[in-house]
Structure 1
Amino acid sequence: MPLHIKTPLLASSALSLAAGRSIALKMEALQPSGSFKLRGIGHACEHYKARGAQRFISSSGGNAGLAVAYAGRALAVPVTVVVPETTPLRARQLLDLEGAEVIVHGASWQEANERAQSMIGTADAFIHPFDNPLLWEGHASMIDEVAESGARPDAVVLTVGGGGLLSGVVEGLQRNGWGDVPVVAVETRGAASLGAAAAAGERVTLDAITTIATSLGAKQICARAFALLGQHPIRPVQVSDAEALDACARFLDDHRVLVEPACGASLALAYGAANILAPFNTVLMIVCGGSTMSLAQMQDWQQRAS
């Protein structure tokens, strides 16, 4: 049995009414680790354990790190997660609860990642947060589940950070014969590495990440996600932090599920930017989750944004 669960596919009356079209939700926030990341990371961890890995090393204090920690505990493999200094205390506590060794290093994910890479020994497996074909293969299983239901959407809406979810969803669409289904790829304006790459015609590195949606904080999109811009119908879209936060609050009221701003960015298209969805009658939204989000954090960010 895989480490992830088959998540509900819900028809959302509230979001459908707000957007003026049929909205279905793939509820990845209900994964045991709190986000879609467990699909691909669980798949990768099982693969590396079968090849003899005696420790998993990760460089994320957010959703990816928690997915690695959960998978390691389930597979009885020790886990070390290197997190940057900006990682919230709540995230570190959740990693501790899963039994992971937590090392704090650097002011950004890039610095934490360099430290994690330097620690890799011959018996270790490094679990990248988003740039690994095993992750994309695992993430694609969410589209397999949608296809099994027979609910073919006119478009899929998802959030983009480093590009792992985008790469996995497109792989899932293509392997289920849905290669013509467009993907609306949403970023917050302070972390729009996909949008910048699409505009430049090449992968570019952002000068800085200036969004509260820190899960989207990859300064450069992965090579696979960039290549998909020329291989699949993908529409990059950007929203503000305030729009993402508002969507989080409204989604909590509508579906009683708390998600992080990175997830709220996608939901914002239904709540406040429905014109972007105008060409589509039926839309699938990936509710990607948010392992470390709390109500107090959301309310604090809302006060700052007001």
Structure 2
Amino acid sequence: MNLHIETPLVESRPLSVLAGRRVWLKLEALQPPGSFKIRGIGHACQTYVARGARRFVSSSGGNAGLAVAYTGRRLGVPVTVVVPETTTDMARKLLCMEGAEVVVHGGSWQEANQHAQSLLGPNDAFLHPFDDPLLWHGHASMIDEVAQAGCKPDAVVLSVGGGGLLSGVVEGLHRNKWHDVPVLAVETEGAASFHAAVRAGHSVELERLSSVATSLGAKRVCEQALRCAAAHPVQSVVVSDRSALSACERFLADHRILVEPACGASLAAVYDRAPALEGHDNVLVIVCGGATATIDQIRAWGRS
């Protein structure tokens, strides 16, 4: 069974008029757990169950953890999610609502991840937030849906954090023989690990993360993201936190959908008419979603 839904593909009239080009939205924010993550996580979890897994362990207090918790509830498999102390009360509440056991450990994702690894037993499966071929394969299904709708874009705009979405979208483009469709990979200034890696020509670990877009908070992107950039036309775009937050509010007003700042990064590239969009008249934006930010938080971040 599919644990994700086929999400709407709609033309955004407000964004199309503003940007002076047709802007299509793949509304992954409407997935049951609130983000695109369920595509890859759901596929991975079902694969691990077929291999004998009897418990899922995750180290993400964000959207990946929520997708694991949702999947575990749907499949009747217990889930343990290890989150750092910085995880919001909202995220913890959502994880508990899905029936997951929530373990709070450490001051960063790295510490939570190490603890999660120490909990693994012989019948447990570990769900990485972004670095797993099963995830990329599942995420690629969103491009299959776009192809089935007969809507070939001139470019795809998406947010990049750890690189899982980028890796999945490029896989989807290739398996639909859309090798000529470029990807604009957008990050915020304080979490631009992909941009740093592209400039260096190899993966780079950021010293620290300073963006409010915590869902983009990977100090180092997965190696597959760099392989994708080498094998496919991928352009790195960096926007400010303020632009991402503004895009969240503008998108809420335009489409009545609230997304996290991580998703606001890709929307900001369109709202701000980024130069990278020039020459692309038919643009697809992956509205990746996010369930752990409230409008009050977004406005508070914008005032700080």
Question: Same fold per TM (> 0.5)?
Answer: yes
Distance (Å, rounded) in 1 between the aligned partners of 2:35 and 2:275:
28
- CA distance in 1: counterparts of 2:30 and 2:293, whole angstroms: 13
Distance in 2 separating the partners of 1:157 and 1:299: 24
- Verify: 1:303 aligned to 2:275, yes or no: no
Alignment-mate amino acid for residue 51 of structure 1:
R
Deviations 1:98-131 (A, max 9, x none): 0000011111111111111111110000000000
Deviation at 1:274, TM superposition (A): 3.6
1:227 aligns with 2:222: no
- When normalised by structure 2's length, the TM-score is 0.99
The equivalent residue for 2:7 is 7
Mapped to 2, the partners of 1:17 and 1:120 lie a distance apart of: 51
Contact 1:185–1:234, Cα closer than 8 Å, also in 2: yes
Name 1:270's counterpart in structure 2: 270
Distance (whole Å) between structure 2 residues aligned to residue 293 and residue 206 of structure 1: 24
Contact 1:244/1:261 (8 A) holds in 2:
yes
Deviations 1:211-235 (A, max 9, x none): 0000001000101111111100000
Counterpart in the other structure of 1:96: 96
* Cα distance in structure 1, aligned partners of 2:192 and 2:302: 21
Q: Secondary structure at the match of 2:152?
A: coil
Q: What's the counterpart of residue 114 of structure 1? A: 114
Q: Which residue of 2 aligns with 1:75?
A: 75
Letter in 2 for 1:27: L
Question: What letter matches 2:175 in structure 1?
Answer: R
Structure 2: segments with no counterpart, 5+ residues? none
Q: Deviations over 1:203-262 (max 9, x none)?
A: 110000000000001000101111111100000010000000000000000000000000
Larger displacement relative to structure 2 (68-77 or 288-297): 288-297
SS in 2 for 1:57: strand
The amino acid of 2:280's aligned partner reads F
SS, match of residue 185 in structure 1: strand
Alignment of 1:6-155 (within 5 A): 6-155=6-155
Matched-pair contact (CA < 8 Å) for 1:182–1:235: yes
Letter of the 1:185 partner, please give it.
A
**Residue 167 (structure 2) pairs with residue 187 (structure 1):** no
Identity, in percent, stands at 65
Equivalents in 2 of 1:203, 1:139: separation in Å?
Answer: 22
The answer (yes or no) to whether the contact 1:78–1:100 under 8 Å persists in 2 is yes
- In the alignment, structure 1 residue 241 sits paired with structure 2 residue 244: no
Show structure 1 runs of 4+ deviating over 4 A. Answer: none
CA distance in structure 2 between the partners assigned to 1:273 and 1:210 by the alignment: 24
Q: Does the 8 A contact of 1:20 with 1:274 survive in 2?
A: no
Q: Which residue of structure 1 aligns with residue 290 of structure 2?
A: 290
Count residues with an aligned counterpart. Answer: 304
Which amino acid in structure 2 is aligned with residue 45 of structure 1?
Answer: C
Structure 1 residues without counterparts, runs of 5 or longer: none
Task: Give the Cα–Cα distance (whole angstroms) in 1 for the partners of residues 2 and 286 of structure 2.
Answer: 20
SS in structure 1 at match of 2:207:
coil
Aligned-residue offset at 1:279: 1.6
Q: Distance in 1 between matches of 2:229 and 2:280?
A: 20
User: Shift of residue 276 of structure 1?
Assistant: 2.2
Counterpart CA distance in 1 for 2:269 and 2:248 is 12
TM-score w.r.t. the length of structure 1 is: 0.98
Structure 2 CA distance for aligned equivalents of residues 229 and 244 of structure 1: 23
Does structure 2 conserve the Cα–Cα contact (< 8 Å) formed by 1:16 and 1:270? no
For 1:241, give the aligned amino acid.
D
CA RMSD after TM alignment: 0.7
How much does 1:273 deviate?
3.0
In the alignment, does 2:274 pair up with 1:256? no
Q: Aligned equivalents of 1:33 and 1:175: distance in 2?
A: 26
Task: Output the amino acid matched with 2:22.
Answer: S
